[in-house]
Every structure is written in structure tokens, then in C-alpha cells.
Copies of this chain bind each other. A is one copy, B any other.
Amino acid sequence: MLKNDNFLKACRREPVDCTPVWIMRQAGRYMKEYRDIRKKVDFLTMCKTPDLAAEVTLLPVDILGVDAAILFSDILIPVEAMGIGVRFTEKKGPILSNPVRSEFELNALLTPDSVKSEEMMPFIPQAIRLILQELDGRVPLIGFSGAPFTLATYMIEGETSRNFTWIKRIMYTDAALLHRLLEKITTTVIHYLNMQIKAGVHAVQLFDTWAGWLSPDDYREFALPYVEKVIKGIDKKGCPVILFANGVSGILEQMVDSGADVIGLDWRIDMVDAVRRSGNRVALQGNLDPCVLYGEPSVIRRHAKDIIDKYGKRSGHVFNLGHGILPDIPVEHAKALVDIVHEESSRQS
């Protein structure tokens, strides 16, 4: 049914004619078409209006020629459904109205089941169905959720944090409270992802963005078990699961053990090391420094080719940046990256 299933094949470590590529935050502010829509409506309204979410999701497929679309949404959508007020500010990013720092706030949280999820977030399956219709099988659609630890950082810190002092304070003074919060988030995430899978996404990515700020032992206690529960708990129906963290180098082996099909790498690990350490047990996604896209196409080519060469001829590489694309990257450079990855990887095979 899919005209281009290179992305799904690579996730399953099957051979492809050229390395598939998509870009984290590929539907974003660096695109004029995105900024034009964003001028008219605020960010959360974009996420919650299926027409707009679908329109924006399609942009990078049409403009860049990426090998996968990813649902335009925000990792805090299910957090809102748990009963926490979320608003987005230009300067500081998300601000949460009632951070969870005690039993009191914890007990007030909802854990929307499948019925409640559809009731509270109907725009998610609506957007997915609309996107699938408009994609018309050109490329697969990726759904996603924040992973429990990363969602917990936002729920406890109340905003994007630099040192994660609130969640770590709780981690080292009341670990039981944090575990109970993580359980509630895990339940919510399972239903949230099942809703997306039921609506038809072809793969899901778990963003455990901040888990790389944990010591490896703390990752083992506070992040990994909940990622494993989510992966075991969802009704995958053949969907590959991608697990991404920013700062994987200290925790890669643990991530490989999570049950995920694909590990998403940031740029601070050498691809040769990542291949060796993951021991052919998973596919790998990544891992270009997002700032390389400031460079001219010749610079982009040198760095992208380097990663493709390091991954080598084995199957199972999804090309991506090591973190989200930055808002001031020229769109032609993003387009150049997609073309370069296709060219250089076809040349290799």
C-alpha cells in the first residue's frame, strides 16, 4: 500500500535501496509555510485543529521529500489530558499551571483510558486520519509520545528546566512519589499511543529527551522500566517503536535492552561506537549535529556522508538529526540534506 516504505524497512533492519531520512521537528518554524500559519493561530490551537495539524504535517513531505511524516503535535498534549494546564510562551516555551510536587497534586491527576483519551483528545485520531488520507500512501506516518520520565520532568519542573532540580530533588528525597507519578504517566502513554496506532500510524517514537541527564543507575531505576512497560503495553500491530534520548552515550546498552526496534541517537556519540555497542540488535536513527545545517551543502555532504559511511552497508539505518532542527536553519539546507542522504547512500549500496 505504501509507495515508499524505506523508513519502515530500515526500522525492521530490512535492505533498502537508499537510506531513509526524516528530521525531528521537520514541520517547524524554519519553514515559511509553517510561520505563515502560525501567525494566525497559537501553537496549541495548531496542535488541536486537525486541518491545520494535517496541513503542517504534510509540509516536509511536499517540500523536503522526507521518507516519513510525523504527526504534528506536542509531547504535552497527554499531560493536559491528565489535568495539568499547559500554555506556551514565546520566550520560555511551555509553562504548566500546577506542577506535581506532592501527594496532593499526584492524587488529583487523571489517567485517561482509551475511551477518555478519545473523548479528551479527539483531534489526535482525527488529524491522523486526515493526514493518512492526504498522504495517500506516499510515505509512512509516525505517531509519538513523550516517554514517562521526560513527561515527568515537565510535570514536576513546570517548565523547560536547565538542571532538573525539582524532579531530582524528589528523586533523592521521595523516590516512591516519583515512581507513583511515573506509573500514572505510563498508563496514560499506553492508551495515548494505542489511540494513535488504532487511528493508523505506521510507527511510533518515544521521546525520552531528558533521560540522558540521568546517571546510568538512575536511568535504570527511573526511566528504563517505564519505557519497557510502555513498549510491552501497547498494542503495536506491527508498528516499529523508536526510542530517542538526547545524551544516549552513557545509557545506550540499556536503551537497546528496552525492547525498542530503533534507538534514536543524539550527535554526541560516534556512529561507529553506537553500531558496535548496539550489537546489531536494533536499528539506529540519527545522528547529525543539528547545527551542521548552518553549513553550506558541501559541509552538510561531508558530515552526512561520514555518518552513512560509519553505519556501513548493514541494514537498519534511519538518517536523522541528533536533535530537533533549529528555527533559523535555511530550508534549502534541510532540503539539501534529504537529497544528499539519498544520493550518498545509493552510491554506497
Contact = CB atoms under 8 A, between A and B. Distances in A.
Contact of A168 (B173, B250, B270, B291): B291
A216 B269 contact: yes
Interface in A258-275: 267-270, 273
A212 to B, nearest CB: 7
Interface string A316-340: 0000001000101000000000000
Contact of A214 (B164, B215, B268, B294): B268
Contacts of A296: 173
A289 interface: yes
Given A214-B268, A268-B247, A289-B215, A172 B326 contact: no
A268 B165 contact: no
How many copies make up the complex?
2
B294 A270 contact: no
B165 A292 contact: no
B212 A168 contact: no
A119 interface: no
Contacts of A313: none
A217 B270 contact: yes
Contacts of A247: 247, 249, 268
